[in-house]
Amino acid sequence: MKKLTLFLMVVICGFMFGQNVNTVRKIVEQINQTKGLKIKKIPNSYYLDRNIVTDNGIELKGYYKNNKLLKIEHWVGLSARIITTEYFFTENGKLVFVHSKKYQTVDENGYLEKPQQLSDLRRYYEKDKLIKSVGVLNDDENTDYLIESKNLINDLKNYSN
């Protein structure tokens, strides 16, 4: 009986988290399909002025609908790698999903014609809590994407053309 109870609890918890992940997926899909989002782009020069320097630059884009931030794209060019991270938010500004990829751009023979994907990470959030993490991002597992998203939101608020 104890085994059956334990099994049912695991199945129910898995179902509940699965439902939450499906809700997040629908939010992300809806944002990606939304037409006419206003884009605010922060160039590399903004970061240079703040002494944040990478070998190949940084770019930040915020996507807005009705003055509400729905998505952030963050691109960082390092000497031999590129890291791209997308952040998705609910209408009330809560982080729900992060998708980060790392690419190798240089190997022992020089620059690669086509960057090679090294890693892929997906993180699902609900009420500022991580509910599921899929994949890895090699040496960046300790990144707190909730804090990172708040820092990027502040950059978007502070930047003026």
pLDDT tens per residue across span 41-76: 999 988 888 888 778 889 999 999 999 999 999 999
pTM of the model: 0.83
Q: In terms of residue numbers, what domain contains 152?
A: 2-158
In whole angstroms, give the CA distance from residue 15 to residue 68.
31
Please state the domain count of the chain: 1
Q: Which helix (H) or strand (E) holds 155?
A: helix 145-158
| 75-79, 83-87, 111-115: range with highest mean pLDDT | 83-87
Cβ-in-10-Å burial (0-12, 13-18, 19+) of 117 comes to exposed
Q: What is the mean pLDDT of residues 86-105?
A: 94
Nearest Cα residue to 42 out of 85, 82, 72, 84: 72
**Residue appearing with tokens 């049912």:** 8
One-character DSSP codes across 110-122: EEEEEEEEEEEEE
pLDDT digits (tens, 9 = 90+) for 11-34: 334 434 445 789 999 999 999 999
Q: Give how far Cα 70 sits from Cα of 16, 149, 157, Å.
A: 25, 12, 14
pLDDT digits (tens, 9 = 90+) for 107-138: 878 777 888 898 999 999 999 899 999 987 66
